[in-house]
Amino acid sequence: MNVTLSIDGKKVTVPEGTTVLEAAQQAGIFVPTLCHYEGLPPQSECRLCIVEIKGGRGLPASCTLPAKEGMEVATCSERVLEARKFLLQLLLCAHPADCKTCEKHGRCELQKLLSDYGVRDYENPMRARKQLVDKSSKAIERDLVKCVLCGRCVRMCRDVQTVGVYSFACRGLDSAVTTAFDKPIAETPCVSCGQCTIVCPTGALSEKESIDDVWTALQSGKHVVCQVAPSVRVSIGEMFGLPPGTIVTGQLVAALHRLGFAKVFDTDFGADLTIMEEGKELLEKLKEGKPLLSTSCCPAWINFVERFYPELIPQLSTTKSPQQMFGAIAKTYYAQKAGVKPEDMAVISIMPCTAKKMEAARPEMNASGAGRDVDFVLTTREAARMMMQAGIHLPSMQPEGFDEPLGEASGAGVIFGTTGGVTEAALRTASEVYAGKKLDKIEFKQVRGFDTLREATVEINGRKVKVAAVHTLGAARRILDEMKEGKAPYDFVEVMACRGGCVGGGGQPIPSREKRIEAIKARQRAIYAVDASLPVRKSHENPAIKKLYKEFLGEPGSEKSKKLLHTKLSPSKGYGV
Amino acid sequence: MTALVFRIGVGTCGLSAGAAEVRRALEETLAAEGAAKSGSTVKGVGCLGLCFAEPLVEVGGVLYGRVKPEDARLIAKAALEGEAVAAKALAKRDKCVLKGAEKVPPLSSQPFWALQFRDAFENCGVVDPKSIDDCIAAGGYEGLRKALKLKPAEVVAQVKAVGLRGRGGAGFPTAIKWELCAKAPAGEKFAICNADEGDPGAFMNRANLEGDPHKVLEGLIIAGYACGAGKGFVYVRAEKPLAAQSVKTAVEQAQAKGFLGKNILGSGFDFDVEVRLGAGAFVCGEETALIASIEGKRGMPRARPPYPAEHGLWGKPTNINNVETLAHVPNIFRRGAEWFAARGTAKSKGTKVFCMTGKISNTGAFEVPIGITLRDMVFKIGGGIPDGRKFKAAQSGGPSGGCLPESCLDLQMDYESLSEAGAIMGSGGLVILDDSTCMVDVARYFLTFTQSESCGLCTPCREGTVRMLDVINRIADGKGKASDVEELQRMGRIIRDTSLCGLGQTAPNPVLSTIRYFRAEYGEHVKGKKCPAGVCRMGAKK
Amino acid sequence: MPEKPKLASKAAAISRKHAAERGALIPVLQELQEEEGYLKPESLAEVSEQLKIPLSSIYGVATFYAQFRLEQPGKNIIQICSGTACHVKGSKKVLEEFEKELGIKAGETTQDKKFTLLSVRCFGACALGPIIKVNDDIYSSVAAGQAKGIIAKYGDKK
């Protein structure tokens, strides 16, 4: 049933149950918000989205007000504007005054609101929030004094990711959003997915920066190479004002060359490698009759299993992530070919992910024996900032190609960037290589999309294989609980911790308010477009991969493969004990 | 020697005044005199309605006040011999069996008693709250019996016909609340009794639960029946442990007698009750915060709509009523609609318990027909202002309410009139202030309270009330600016309009109302830099 | 790491007892505090484990409600009511007198851990204010001058 209401004089018709905020958005009116975030349950606590209803009392918050037939809404009447400005003054009084030294300067939602509303000053002295700086985690940093108590991180971490690192604590003016007993993040069950840094409107939560470390490496005289994740090429353009989903692969490679990287390689190569190894694993597991929990490429997901479902570790794929496989191969195979000693090399990866920083630092990720296989990780956001520091305007660059021998990748490698991509890539190889016959169609559309759970049943070697792809850890938890009860008969499960998969990762550009989910979907579409445009679309047909096995690894699952490309996982305690 | 019942008030008030020792003295005396042979007993009861004279002992129709243990021995001995101790007596009931009480003033002729009408409190101070049999003998659960013979919709209709309004503060028509919940899709539903009573100065719920928990429980069961609920909760403030214990015992006794559980009184209606303790948060008196608390979460309110009747506890339709509201329900069925509607005004039927405290001679919980004037409350029931001081104002509705100055003395105490005057009925807490009180200090006191109880979720309440407090503190310290009063009004208006819940929405009320009626006093603080009542330490170091 | 496994298991036992109830967290915390005097981090970690509620949420609940203590209180807990009626009758002076006699401010515990002083609202005995409570004993119409005597009454208790 639909209802028709009028917002600022404009008639809008929406389904019953729609909020006034959503209805206004439909009419092109973006009522200011701070605590509201698309996809998170609304809390209506910042009170900035207040509106005036004709015949109503007070100024209700539009984010939770259901639209009713015949309602007359004013989103910026004199009363509303006065109140909104007062509320912003209150928020200003509880916030540090100096934006210049804040990493969110220029991209802060509070700053924009204060600027839009012309809030310059408020005479009363500032009441500081709780002061706490936490740099304990390898992926995420906290600076509580910048917190505006919007609670988005709480809702994201507790309700969507079901990890629950943050909560509101204390009461009234002493309220804070913090961890249990204010423990450093490194001592909590945090899985480093970084979704909290995506939703935080201010500089209270951000990724741990590695920009300075990378500059140092580039200027050190070492042979510095980088690998670029699939998601980066369809999203880094947003940092330069391009629409979400703009494919800028060529310009990105050129920009990285200009920054000083000796070679710019493609993580998708590592992804193809992962499929080769994991495909073999899948078949072994099918023989055993046990499900394979895939996507070792998602470190947050791996952390999640190690923390909350250690008993399921035997079901996890033992393959490393594409990033780490790449690092191991770069400092062995490539180093040999290039005649460089691995100690004289640095491998930098550019990732849509914050957890990758933590993954690169795991002590076991040292297969080359020359220190970390991946030295530093830059998020998409950091990579763009480095380019800006160097005066490089990415959109203006002349496209260049990835370097050999680790720059060639199939379409299957590219689709790792989206939820459902790993499944599809695995199916393309598993069904063909191990079933022994060529596939007529290689697109498995059933596992594409934005639903939290997508299923498909595929025939491999005469056997029906049931696969599932999920995104967000909350959905993962549901599936794991079902599996524990014996209710989910999947043979293969792909989990990506972030919404939409890596394209929605914790290190990605933060979409503007009007396009939060739409941006992720646009990037997903771009990923599939890149896949469709490539000549080689299956991992096992990638000539560079074939060469690597022929010259160096032997075959999937060989001793060398096991040493370089596989890893061991173990349970970890949540609260640091 | 006829069997005598010695009633002694052992509610929180009585105990705090030393009633435990007085009770021991009575029991020892009775034992020494061999009174058990005649069946004389000591009965611990709840609020007798003369809180200002606790400890209270009543025997044979004679009421004794401010009883000390020595007095108790005297009184007991005399009563067992059929005599009153007139010198220690406060008043006598119409039916008095003791001799020598001729000169003792009859209770019914005392203005403070004559104007009262005990309905919710009818059994408080009469029955032993720990004995369900005593309560049943006094008419307990008769209302439930009658209500269960009707259909739920008829129960709602009866309550609608008498016009019962919520006694917790807002005065919302109870029957409509029940109807909304009953109309929600069938399935799991809940009925909650809100006994959080956080208003400082309000203790009518506490007294009700200590004195006659079965009446409230009976009301809750009837409410559950009308709404289609299968489970009830009584949410009691942790700071009132005696009341909580009283309800717990009552629930156990009701379960044993079949008034709770499956197929109550053979009606086919299943209902059971769980007692939950609050944990020290005033905001949990707000419906959605209370619900969050029962769910085991921080007591942070939620946006309404959706209202609890549609989407409440664990997402299910939930009806929440105040203790006093529920206490009125049994009599509507036991004594009938006309009886209830015989008191009160056209729009606000029935009686209300007001707790009068502060600078007043007779402090206590007084149940009066709605519509009584403030003047009668203060001077007839309250006995006027002690120590030769003058009436300055009555704060009505606690920290969410407003003040009523001398010019409002002839105001009828009903929901609409109070609201128009800038105050609220609220829970019924009335704090009387005399001319030694500074109204700026009063506003500051209330704002400090709401500020410290703010849950901290929404911007206006968390940050806005402290801004108002800064300004008031500045005024009280003699540093007020000329624009401060207007600024307080402006901020108050915005906070009232934009806060998420009732706590924030009503937090500015005491400030706005004291400014409305005592503007001149604010003026003296700001311009004259002095406090006429001599309370504020202007310019003094803290 | 729990120092005394016996204590942690109390938390586990209480949690298990209530595990089947909905919304059992607050009754569990109330019972736990009754048992142990206050809420210890390792006990809360145990509750988190048993009830499957994130520890951060439990911490959030424990710090929200005034009743819960995360630090060991003194042997005797003195609560001075500062509700409206008591305030009007002069409870502020009573509080100040107790603060002076004990040498601490409201919310603090004495060095010798004998007394914790709290300012609270409201016991509901407003007709007879100022009201104070020491442990389970309630006193009415308290005058500032009585502070010393009341403290002495409890000072020697073990």
Mean pLDDT of B282-296: 95
Q: What is the ipTM of this complex?
A: 0.91
B351-434 in CATH: which number?
Answer: 3.10.20.600
- B470 pLDDT above the threshold of 60: yes
Alpha-carbon distances, residue A253 vs A376, A398, A400, A543 (angstroms): 18, 9, 6, 21
> Which of chain A's residues have a Cβ under 8 Å away from the Cβ of B470?
124
Give the neighbor-by-neighbor strand order of the sheet with A10-15. Answer: A10-15, A2-7, A72-74, A52-53
Nearest CB neighbour to C122, from listed B17, B200, B294:
B200
- A251 pLDDT above the threshold of 90: yes
DSSP string of B518-530?
-HHHHHHHHTS--
Taking a C-beta distance cutoff of 8 angstroms, is the pair A501, A474 a contact?
A: no
CB contact under 8 A, B280 and C66: yes
Active site residue A502: yes
What's the pLDDT at C158? 45
Q: Name the β-bridge partners of B70.
A: none
pLDDT per residue over A526-546, tens digit each? 999 999 999 999 998 999 999
What's the pLDDT at C2? 44
DSSP string of A188-246?
S------HHHHH-SSTTEEEPP-HHHHHHHHTTTSEEEEEE-GGGGGTGGGGGTPPTT-
Closest residue, chain A, to C54 (C-alpha):
A164
Distance from CA of B134 to the nearest CA of A (A): 44
Candidates 3.30.160.270, 3.40.50.11540, 3.40.50.150, 3.30.420.40; CATH matching B140-339: 3.40.50.11540
Question: Mean pLDDT score of chain A, rounded to an integer?
Answer: 91
- Nearest CA to A202 among A272, A295, A326, A114? A114
- C7 pLDDT above the threshold of 70: no
What's the pLDDT at A442? 81
What's the pLDDT at B1? 55
Q: Give the helix/strand (H/E) hosting B281.
A: none
Instruction: Please report, for chain B, the start and end positions of each structural domain, with discontinuous segments joined by +.
Output: 5-109, 140-339, 351-434, 439-526
Assign B540 a pLDDT band (cuts: 50, 70, 90).
low
Mean pLDDT of A548-555: 91
Mean pLDDT of B511-530: 94
Assign B37 a pLDDT band (cuts: 50, 70, 90).
confident
Active site residue A356: yes
Instruction: Write out residues 557-576 of A within 8 Å (CB-CB) of C.
Output: 574-575
What's the full length of chain B, in residues? Answer: 542
| Phi, then psi, of A135 in degrees rounded to 5 | -115, 25
Kindly state the DSSP code that residue A445 receives in the 8-state scheme.
G
Lowest-pLDDT choice from A330-334, A483-487, B276-280:
A483-487
What's the pLDDT at C4? 44
Active site residue A196: no
pLDDT per residue over A281-314, tens digit each? 887 888 887 788 877 889 999 999 999 999 888 8
Active site residue A441: no
Nearest CB neighbour to A171, from listed B455, B496, B500:
B455
Distance from CA of B495 to the nearest CA of C (A): 23
Domains and CATH numbers, chain C: 10-64 (no CATH), 76-153 (3.40.30.10)
Mean pLDDT of B389-398: 94
Mean pLDDT of A168-188: 95
Question: ∠ CA C59-C64-C68 to the nearest 5 degrees?
Answer: 75
Question: Mean pLDDT score of chain B, rounded to an integer?
Answer: 93
What's the pLDDT at A385? 95
Assign A577 a pLDDT band (cuts: 50, 70, 90).
very low
Of C155 and B221, the one with more pLDDT: B221
> Which of chain B's residues have a Cβ under 8 Å away from the Cβ of A82?
494
- Nearest CA to C74 among C54, C92, C56, C98? C98
Assign C157 a pLDDT band (cuts: 50, 70, 90).
low
Nearest CB neighbour to C127, from listed B51, B295, B299:
B51
pLDDT per residue over A200-212, tens digit each? 999 999 999 999 9
What's the pLDDT at B134? 95
Rg (CA), chain A: 25
Hey, is the C-beta of B529 within 8 angstroms of any chain A C-beta? no
- B542 pLDDT above the threshold of 70: no
Write out the CATH class of domain B5-109: alpha beta
Task: Write down which chains contact chain C via at least 3 CB pairs under 8 A.
Answer: A, B
Distance from CA of A237 to the nearest CA of C (A): 37
Half-sphere exposure of A232 (CA within 13 A, CB side): 30
What's the pLDDT at B85? 93
Q: Supply A386's token pair.
A: 């480095």
Give the whole-angstrom CA distance, residue B409 versus residue B116.
Answer: 18
Mean pLDDT of B145-170: 94
Domain B439-526 has CATH 1.20.1440.230: yes
What's the pLDDT at B311? 94
- B337 pLDDT above the threshold of 60: yes
Distance from CA of C93 to the nearest CA of A (A): 26
Assign A125 a pLDDT band (cuts: 50, 70, 90).
low
- A576 pLDDT above the threshold of 50: no
Assign C87 a pLDDT band (cuts: 50, 70, 90).
confident
A→B interface, C-beta within 8 Å:
42-48, 50, 58-61, 64-66, 79, 82-83, 86-87, 90-91, 93-94, 124, 127, 149, 168, 170-175
Active site residue A550: no
What's the pLDDT at B158? 95
Question: What percentage of residues in chain C have a pLDDT greater than 90?
Answer: 68
What's the pLDDT at B49? 85
What's the pLDDT at C8? 57
Assign B539 a pLDDT band (cuts: 50, 70, 90).
low
CB contact under 8 A, B398 and C86: no
CB contact under 8 A, C59 and A170: no
- Among residues A141, A207, A281, A541, the one annotated as catalytic is A281
- B220 pLDDT above the threshold of 90: yes
> Which of chain C's residues have a Cβ under 8 Å away from the Cβ of B12?
123-125, 138
Which residue type is seen at B441? D
pLDDT per residue over A450-461, tens digit each? 999 999 888 877
Closest residue, chain B, to A172 (C-alpha):
B456
> Which of chain B's residues have a Cβ under 8 Å away from the Cβ of A45?
457-459, 500
